Amino acid sequence: MISVVIPVHNRRGLIGRAIDSVLKQSFNDFEVIVVDDGSDDGTPQIVADRYGGEGRVRLLSQSSNRGVSAARNAGIATAAGEWLAFLDSDDEWRPKKLDRQVRGLADSGLRVSHTNEIWIRNGVRVNPHKHHQKHGGRLFLKALPQCVMSPSSILLHRVVFNDVGPFDENLPACEDYDLFLRLTCRYEVHYQDEELVIKYGGHADQLSRAHYAMDRFRISALERLLVESSAHLTEEERDAAVAMLLRKARIVYNGALRHENEQLAQIMSEFRQRWE
């Protein structure tokens, strides 16, 4: 029923925790697809040695590090499930996660679900800020400032993914923000208000630490949405998307000037000229 896609790159010490949390699910009609994204630390060997005898776990290997979007898309391309779920290799699920979502989707009649989560940073539980509060329903306006759903919590029907399109492999980060903009302007979302995912932060290899001025990727996602998916937006939503693009472009532009990054400042200036 469900294909669980776990992309991984150089996390031999963490991947077992993620896989084990799926195998411990009370709902057990699933397959696990681990996509190794060009690891060179022995991660695929760990997966093969530890889970080679587990019939529900498959390992796909990419010869080079192509990025998390390419890894997820590769997993989806081979997935057999009617429903798709994602789990980042440094996160884990609580045992009732899939069961609660499957029941919630059946009751709501919707095709997309996400859940509440627990945040652990540097080994300590932290409380999300108010603006990180989770919601259900039509989430597009709430999705404009930042990502409102965690990839590790989402469960969606394959038809939804086919409709909104794959993860954008040209974005080195904020690929989830991009996908969820395309998703939330088309579909209502079921929200399971239970802490069913544990997200771990603070480690050095997180994408948010690997790239500066993350809003530049969100700006690209917003422009793509306005060009390609405008027909799915109400007038209010389109105006809000343009306003958010301009707001983020101003922020990145000012930051680029402070750091004397003339190339980035010019790119942001061009974004503003196109949409003001």
Q: Range of 241's domain?
A: 215-275
What's the whole-number mean pLDDT along residues 218-233?
A: 96
105 token code pair: 């989707």
- 17-49 confidence digits (pLDDT tens): 999 999 999 999 999 999 999 999 999 999 999
Q: Residue 53: what pLDDT? A: 87
In the predicted model, what is the mean pLDDT of residues 180-207?
90
For the residues 129-142, what does the mean pLDDT come to? 92
Q: What is the pTM of this model?
A: 0.94
Q: Is the pLDDT of residue 207 over 60?
A: no
State CA 202 to chain mean position distance.
18
Per residue, the 3-state secondary structure of 176-218, as one string, reads HHHHHHHHHCCCCEEEEEEEEEEEEECCCCCHHHHCCCCHHHH
Q: Is residue 230 part of a domain?
A: yes
pLDDT at position 208 is 55
Query: Span 224-238, mean pLDDT?
Result: 96
DSSP 214-269: THHHHHHHHHHHHHHSGGGS-HHHHHHHHHHHHHHHHHHHHHHHHTT-HHHHHHHH
Residue 65 tokens read as 């590090």
DSSP state of 171: -
Instruction: Give the CATH number for residue 174.
Output: 3.90.550.10
Instruction: List residues bridging with 44 in a β-sheet.
Output: none
Instruction: Give the torsion sign (CA, 237, 140, 75, 82).
Output: negative
What pLDDT is attached to residue 209? 56
- Please, what sign has the CA dihedral across residues 224, 82, 136, 94? negative
Q: Give the pLDDT confidence of 157-174 residue by residue, as tens digits.
A: 999 999 999 999 999 999
pLDDT of residue 130: 84
Number of domains comprising the chain: 2
**250, 166: one domain:** no
Same domain membership, residue 99 and residue 47: yes
* 100 and 222 both lie in a single domain: no
One domain for residues 191 and 219: no
- Are 223 and 171 within one domain? no
Q: Could you tell me the pLDDT band of residue 205, with boundaries at 50, 70 and 90? A: low
Q: What is the pLDDT of residue 54?
A: 87
Say which residue, 6 or 133, is predicted with more confidence.
6
Q: Are residues 163 and 226 in the same domain?
A: no
One domain, residues 268 and 149: no
- The torsion angle over the Cα atoms of residues 275, 265, 146 and 159, rounded to 10 degrees, is 60
CA–CA–CA angle 245, 118, 1 (5° rounding):
85
Least confident of 195-204, 209-218, 221-230: 209-218
For residue 194, the tally of other CB atoms under 10 A from its CB is 15
**Strand intervals (E) in 89-180:** 92-93, 112-121, 124-126, 155-157
The confidence score (pLDDT) of residue 131 equals 84
131 within a domain of the structure (yes/no): yes
What's the mean per-residue pLDDT of the chain? Answer: 95
Beta bridge partners of 36: 8, 61
- pLDDT score, position 202: 75
Chosen domain end from 204, 236, 259:
204
Q: Percent of the chain, pLDDT > 90?
A: 91
pLDDT-derived band of residue 217, with 50, 70 and 90 as boundaries?
A: very high
For residues 268-274, give the mean pLDDT: 94
Q: Are 244 and 222 a contacting pair, CB within 8 Å? A: yes
**Which pLDDT does position 136 carry in this prediction?**
97
pLDDT average, residue stretch 87-114: 98
pLDDT digits (tens, 9 = 90+) for 45-93: 999 999 998 899 999 999 999 999 999 999 999 999 999 999 999 999 9
Do both 167 and 111 map to the same domain? yes
Decide the pairing of beta strands 92-93 and 190-201.
antiparallel
